[in-house]
């Protein structure tokens, strides 16, 4: 499970996908297959979560990596490049952005 704390040394990546209600389920299945079959097995992977909005027009992905370099190596792999082509065909756009946790609130 992702642990969101401001004292982490982990790299946080938030990716948003714009899709349509007709393709949302297919995109979600493709993302789940990518995590199950490849991403979660890569060096430095810590945790991830997928979120779908009520209108099924956006998917948000929160992932954590031990190091920025681990995430970038996964992204540049031939396997992920192939998967990203399939993912890209199921959405209007997607953009992974690397973040540092600045503050957290609650339990």
pLDDT of residue 89: 97
Q: Establish if 62 belongs to a structural domain.
A: yes
Q: Establish if 89 belongs to a structural domain.
A: yes
Q: State the DSSP code for 56.
A: S
Candidates 45, 97, 38, 51; CA nearest to 70 is 45
Give yes or no for a contact between 59 and 52, defined as CB atoms under 8 angstroms apart. yes
Q: Establish if 104 belongs to a structural domain.
A: no
pLDDT of residue 1: 66
* Angle at which helices 78-89 and 21-37 cross, to 10°: 170
Q: Establish if 1 belongs to a structural domain.
A: no
Q: Establish if 4 belongs to a structural domain.
A: no
Range of the domain at 87: 11-99
Residue 54 sits in a domain of what CATH number? 3.30.70.100
Q: Establish if 84 belongs to a structural domain.
A: yes
Q: Establish if 88 belongs to a structural domain.
A: yes
pLDDT averaged over 10-residue windows placed end to end, the chain, 107 residues: 78 97 98 98 97 98 96 97 97 94 85
pLDDT of residue 6: 80
Number of domains in the chain: 1
């Amino acid at each position: 499970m992702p642990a969101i704390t401001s004292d982490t040394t982990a790299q946080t990546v938030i990716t948003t996908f714009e899709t349509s209600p007709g393709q949302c389920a297919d995109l979600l299945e493709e993302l789940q297959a990518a995590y199950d079959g490849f991403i979660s097995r890569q060096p430095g992977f810590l945790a991830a979560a997928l979120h779908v909005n009520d209108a099924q027009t956006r998917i948000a992905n929160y992932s954590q990596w031990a190091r920025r370099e681990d995430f970038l190596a996964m992204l540049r792999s031939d396997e992920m490049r192939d998967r990203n082509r399939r993912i890209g065909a199921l959405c209007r756009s997607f953009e992974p952005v690397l973040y540092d946790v600045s503050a957290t609130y609650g339990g």
